[in-house]
Amino acid sequence: MANPSRLRCAALTTTAVLLAALLAGCGDGTEDGDLTAQKLDWKDCPAPSEAEGGGSAPSPLPNGATWQCATMRAPLDWGRPKGDTISIALIRARASGPESKRIGSLVFNFGGPGGSGVSTLPAFGSDYDVLRTRYDLVSFDPRGVGRSAPVKCKSDAQLDVYFQQDATPDNSAERAQLINRTKQFNAACEQNSRKVLPHVATTDAARDMDLLRQVLGDAKLHYFGISYGTELGGVYAHLFPKNVGRAVFDGVVDPTQNPEQSALGQAAGFQLALDNFAEDCTSKTTECPIGDTPEDVKNRIAKLLNDLEKKPIPGDPPRQLTQTAATNGIAQSLYSKDFWEYLTEGLEAAYDGDGRILMLLSDSMNGRSENGEYSNITAANTAISCADEKPRYTADFVQQRLPEFRSASPLFGDFLAWGLISCTNWAVPGAADHPDVSAPGSAPILVVGNTGDPATPYEGARRMAEALGSGVAVELTYKGQGHGAYDSKDKCVQRKVNDYLLNGTVPKAGAVCS
């Protein structure tokens, strides 16, 4: 995202890879131009690239099998399918059960946009081990991401400076500075990635997935999409409804909203998650170390952020914890209830002048590893979002809308509102106000909504179900906290999802897990 205040719809797993660890391939097509006939050369996976988040090569699977990686060639421009190609990085784990029981491949997208599936799938592969009994687990770096023709904008050192900027301007001088830095970021993306920027839209990635289906030898695409992955899955279902196999959408993006509506919904969603965090902390039998009541917790957080606006505190030297970094870190911690303890510790430390924990949480959101290297999630997120989204918002428009955003969230309102200028002055026009996901004739798609989801509010699941069309979506509600439902480890959710993917058993419409 060109503006760091824009909270991407990243799946928990995408950002947690970094927290836990705290145009490549251009060429000609095949001789006959038929990319569906290409053979994949699967080999043991190397360590993830810097753009994928870095780290070590994936560990062997529980049964001793290894993760395998390959590259698939796809057209740079799907409007010219026999022109230049790019390489799409792939990863898989072969099915552990007998071949006679194998259904096919189950393709994952963990969100973002901009998250590397090649680095994320093995980091959380054990969570899907039961699905591996009948599927090859497969993921990929979507175009523009990781090793797949990655979008490049600024250097690591430049990003350190960039993320220190004030993302919530309070006066004309700060506003001009934010606008100028956003322009500089977008210009760097154009300068360094001019060839690929027009070809990283979600529709392009969806066409890549159908090519992947064919290259893998599957008659249908069996799919598990999380967060932005649900938007990608919806676009795929719209383009190729007859090719949809068993599909699950979890942490569902609302496909009916434009970027302004989506950002406003996120403001309310993150505020709800913060309310729930404060209530949880103060309702426990032991004393909450960051406040006596939920309102006290939130008031102290607001005071901390106001103080940081005037005087940052030491974070990860030489970097300081600014108001923007602290807000970003708080948002990161609300993606999962498992992170709430880190938020409590981070706030307690920050009140004592130590910003390291909140800074690490912010780094995780921004794709920064402990060694100071950044993945390309920010660059890719901006490029894909701006290729998809037609509206281009001005600073004057944001200024007018601030009261409504502040009403939705006193803490996150300004942060998310100013993120709307991310695509202003972008080099490539956006495609539409919102994606078309209507998919008449598609096989059933299981749509899972979480009532406490901060990044993709619960209402989006119902709207996705309606937009897919009559007879396509089957809704499942999880009454829980965090972004997404399956990775919450809720047994009810996992049982229903697994039963559908493994046995084809569709849950009753309107089923609820709590």
Beta strands in 141-251 (DSSP E): 221-226, 244-250
Task: Note the Cα 365 to chain centre separation in Å.
Answer: 10
Pairwise CA distance, residues 47 & 58, whole Å = 7
Indicate the pLDDT class of residue 166, thresholds 50, 70 and 90. Answer: very high
483 is catalytic: yes
Helix (H, G, I), strand (E, B) or coil at 221: strand
A 10 A CB-CB count for 217 gives: 9
C-alpha 262/C-alpha 218 separation (Å) is 35
Residue 366 token pair: 């921004």
pLDDT, tens digit, for every residue of 308-357? 999 999 999 999 999 999 999 999 999 999 999 999 999 999 999 999 99
Instruction: Give a three-class secondary structure readout of 48-116.
Output: CCCCCCCCCCCCCCCCCCCCEEEEEEEECCCCCCCCCEEEEEEEEECCCCCHHHCCEEEEEECEECCCC
Q: Can you tell me whether residue 233 is helix, strand or coil?
A: helix
Max Cα separation, the chain? 70
Distance CA 462, CA 474 (A): 10
Which of the 8 DSSP states describes residue 171?
A: S
Helix H, strand E, coil C: the string for 323-381 is HHHHHHHHHHHCCCHHHHHHHHHHHHHHHCCCCHHHHHHHHHHHCECCCCCECCHHHHH
DSSP string over 11-33: -HHHHHHHHHH--TT-B---TTS
Query: Is the confidence at residue 65, as pLDDT, over 90?
Result: no
Of 227, 364, 409, 442, which is the active-site residue? 227
| 140 Cα distance to chain centroid | 14
**Pairing, β 445-452 against β 43-44:** unpaired
Distance of CA 32 to the CA centre of its chain: 36
Beta bridge partners of 244: 221
Tell me if 278 sits within 8 A of 298, measured CB to CB: yes
Query: What was the pLDDT predicted at 7?
Result: 57
Tell me, yes or no, if 354 is annotated catalytic: no
Q: How confident is the model at residue 284 (pLDDT cuts 50, 70, 90)?
A: confident
* CB-based burial label for 390 (10 Å; 0-12, 13-18, 19+): middle
β-strands 313-314, 320-321 pairing? antiparallel
Average pLDDT of the chain is 93
Pick the catalytic residue from 453, 487, 488, 490: 453
pLDDT score recorded for residue 3 = 42
From the DSSP assignment, how many helices (H) and strands (E) are in the chain? 16, 14
pLDDT of residue 13: 45
Selection from 1, 390, 428, 419 nearest residue 193 by Cα: 428
User: CA-to-CA distance for 403 and 409, rounded, in angstroms?
Assistant: 10
- The letter for the amino acid at 389 is E
The bridge status of strand 244-250 relative to strand 221-226 is parallel
3-state secondary structure at position 388: helix
CA distances from 323 to 169, 182, 357, 394 (A): 11, 18, 14, 23
Q: Which amino acid is at 118?
A: V
Percentage with pLDDT > 70 across the chain: 94
Q: Give the Cα separation of 261 and 267 in Å (integer).
A: 10
| Catalytic residue selected from 222, 238, 434, 483 | 483
Express each pLDDT in 460-510 by its tens digit: 999 999 999 999 999 999 999 999 999 999 999 999 999 999 999 999 989
Phi, psi of 231 (to 5 degrees): -65, -45
pLDDT value at position 19?
54
pLDDT for 97 equals 94
**Cα distance between residue 301 and residue 273, in whole Å:** 14
**Is 200 within 8 Å of 433 (Cβ atoms)?**
no
- Predicted TM-score (pTM) of the model is 0.94
Strands 445-452 vs 320-321: parallel, antiparallel or unpaired: unpaired
Q: Any catalytic annotation for residue 307?
A: no
Which tens digit of pLDDT belongs to each residue from 399-435? 999 999 999 999 999 999 999 999 999 999 999 999 9
